[in-house]
Amino acid sequence: MPEMAAPESLPIRPVGCIWAPMSSIVYEYPLPILERHLDTFGHVNNATYLEIFEEARWDAITRGGYGLDRIKATGQGPVVLECTVRFRRELTSRVNVTVVSRVTGYAGKIGRMHQEIRLPDGNVACDADFTFGFFDLQKRKLIEPSPAWLATFGLTVEDWQAGASG
């Protein structure tokens, strides 16, 4: 089932506002849409948008100092719990998009990240909200964010505690 552009007038539901706003690092990840991203309809399929968002998150946490090596070394890493994705515009090959990612809230063990795939003209082709946690890979359970993990997004323990009570 292909994914295509939602009409402008589609009532986009407002992002839930129970989260205290946070000032995390805003990561930008430039990416050309390639032929391998295209499905048989000649555009990017909905599952592929998720791959693109994931690739941008890996880029962000790697640049922030918490890449795969660190996850393996510490035995702690992020886990996606839920996502909501809005497909707004078609993407076709050789368009240079930018994925913009930032943490918008972190309450207790549950964080929230907003991501957008932006077209060269600034329009948003797709945006998504991810609910995530920090995970102990051995004990298989969610844990509170470590200072190093928070620092990946430019956040401090104080930011997190404020978010928790926000």
Closest CB to a copy of itself among residues 11, 158: 11
Query: Would residue 69 show up in a list of annotated catalytic residues for this protein?
Result: no
CB 92 within 8 A of CB 48: no
How distant is the alpha carbon of residue 136 from its chain centre? Answer: 20
78 is a contact residue toward a copy of itself (CB under 8 A):
yes
Residue type, 57: R
Per-residue DSSP letter, 139: T
The answer to whether 30 and 96 are in contact (CB under 8 A) is yes
Binding to a copy of itself (CB under 8 A): which residues in 134-153?
A: 135, 137, 140-142
CB of 114 to a copy of itself, least distance (A): 14
Pick the piece of the chain touching a copy of itself (CB under 8 A) from 20-28, 61-69, 147-155, 156-164: 61-69
CB 125 within 8 A of CB 161: no
Contact track, a copy of itself, 90-129, x by CB under 8 A: x--xx---------------x--------------x----
